Structure 1
Amino acid sequence: MNTKILKSAGLLAMVFTMISFTTNPIKKKTLNTKESKIEWEGEKLTGSHEGTIMFKEGYLTMDGDKITGGEFIVDMTSIAATDLEGEGKQKLEGHLKSDDFFGVANHPTAKLVIKNATKKGDAYGIIADLTIKGKTNPVTFDLEMNGDTATADLTIDRTKYDVKYGSGSIFDGLGDKVIYDEFKLDVKLKF
């Protein structure tokens, strides 16, 4: 009986020793939502509009200084037009938040989940899943990381996310009211 107790105690001591020397190098870099933002640009046949969207929360997972994953939640209710003022600004923002575009009453957030990050010189090639209006599609882009800041430029085809209003690829006869399917995002992250 004593030998069983001694063997069990020895085994436990070895397990605790192994656990104490095993560390998980994976860390989360939490997004500073107040200092991070997305600048957007949407084009139509007769011009373009631009604005901002803010983050609700987010993080990168890091193994040392290498990105291994991450998740970012965008506050779609924060969509703002920065190229207009007054009634025109309010009208465009209201339309972008309506069901014609992003339907923020039913879909107040969008989400990007990093699935793979491959080092490419000073940048990372990112493969991620982007969810807008409950529709998820893969996206690829380059992410430049510099200490506690990161930047990325993305081009998104809005029709893949059921944002079809004014799309010339879906509706015929729109004339000069065509809104191009792709919109651009200039992302600035601060951790």
Structure 2
Amino acid sequence: MRKVLSAALIALAATIACNKLKSEERIYKVNTSSSVAEWKGSAPDHFHVGSFKIEGSLLTRSDGDIQAGTFVIPISSIDNFDLPAEVKPQLLNHLKSADFFNIALHPNAEFRIEKVETLDGSVKGAVAGANKLVTGNLSLVGQTHPITFPAKIAYKGDSLQVEATLKIDRTKWGMTKYSNADSGLYIIPDADIHVKMQAAKV
């Protein structure tokens, strides 16, 4: 985990190097113990829920707006909330397999912020109080594609809190197993994601 976090910090440092960090800019490090990306995967007649850990850091400007950020999600941190203990490993091992995240070849997912804009008005499905529109590149199982989603970003003292809900179509990243509605086992391509992240000023 330390190696993964170090890589995220190095990536952020590379971004900052292009524009020397000013005294009024701040780096916030994600609190891994209190930050999660909760997920919900559904079939037509049932669903499962769980979470991933989040690691990484953000860079803010003097006005408090986020200008950069790199986040790593260790696939090995995947958890399930709804199954009994004796059954849970079957689902988690399947999700880690080549049918889904293929952890043997792609142990981490990564999200890099490209742009954060002020959100004017409401967006369907957004968390209550969403005030920003976040755009970035999401890397999963060896593929990278842009995503945009509304988020609530707030500051409390020396901490920064981010909350967002979004949908990810796994087939866009090549995770096409069980995506045929006419097959015996069909899993709806869209997964619901609920990000709850806290970061502290370094």
State the TM-score bracket (shorter-chain normalisation). Answer: 0.7 to 0.9
State the alpha-carbon separation in 1 of the partners of residues 170 and 119 from structure 2.
28
Q: Which of the pair has more CA radius of gyration? A: 1
Runs of 4+ in 1 over 6 A off after TM superposition: none
By how many angstroms is 1:25 displaced? 3.0
Counterpart of 2:85 in structure 1 is: 86
Amino acid paired to 1:165: K
State the alpha-carbon separation in 2 of the partners of residues 100 and 134 from structure 1.
14
Task: Identify the match of residue 132 of structure 1 among 140, 144, 158.
Answer: 140
Counterpart of 1:68 in structure 2 is: 67
Alignment deviations for residues 150-187 of structure 1 (CA, whole Å, 9 cap, x no partner): 1011210101111111102xxx6314x21000101100
Instruction: Name the SS of the counterpart of 2:116 in structure 1.
Output: strand
Amino acid paired to 1:133: V
By how many angstroms is 1:26 displaced? 2.7
Q: Kindly report which structure 2 residues correspond to 1:1-191, keeping only aligned pairs within 5 A, or say none.
A: 23-55=22-54, 57-64=55-62, 65-120=64-119, 123-147=131-155, 148-168=160-180, 173-175=182-184, 177-191=185-199
Cα RMSD (Å) of the superposition?
1.6
Structure 1 unaligned regions, length at least 5? 1-21
Counterpart of 2:13 in structure 1 is: none
State the alpha-carbon separation in 1 of the partners of residues 22 and 29 from structure 2.
20
State the alpha-carbon separation in 1 of the partners of residues 29 and 182 from structure 2.
47
State the TM-score, normalized to the length of structure 1: 0.81
Give 1 or 2: higher strand fraction: 1
Q: Report % sequence identity.
A: 31
By how many angstroms is 1:70 displaced? 0.8
Structure 2 unaligned regions, length at least 5? 1-20, 121-129
Instruction: Name the SS of the counterpart of 2:94 in structure 1.
Output: helix
Alignment deviations for residues 11-44 of structure 1 (CA, whole Å, 9 cap, x no partner): xxxxxxxxxxx94433211111111011100011
Give 1 or 2: higher helix fraction: 1
Amino acid paired to 1:183: A
State the TM-score, normalized to the length of structure 2: 0.77
By how many angstroms is 1:115 displaced? 0.4
Amino acid paired to 2:57: Y
Alignment deviations for residues 73-96 of structure 1 (CA, whole Å, 9 cap, x no partner): 001111111110133211000100
Question: How many residues get paired?
Answer: 165
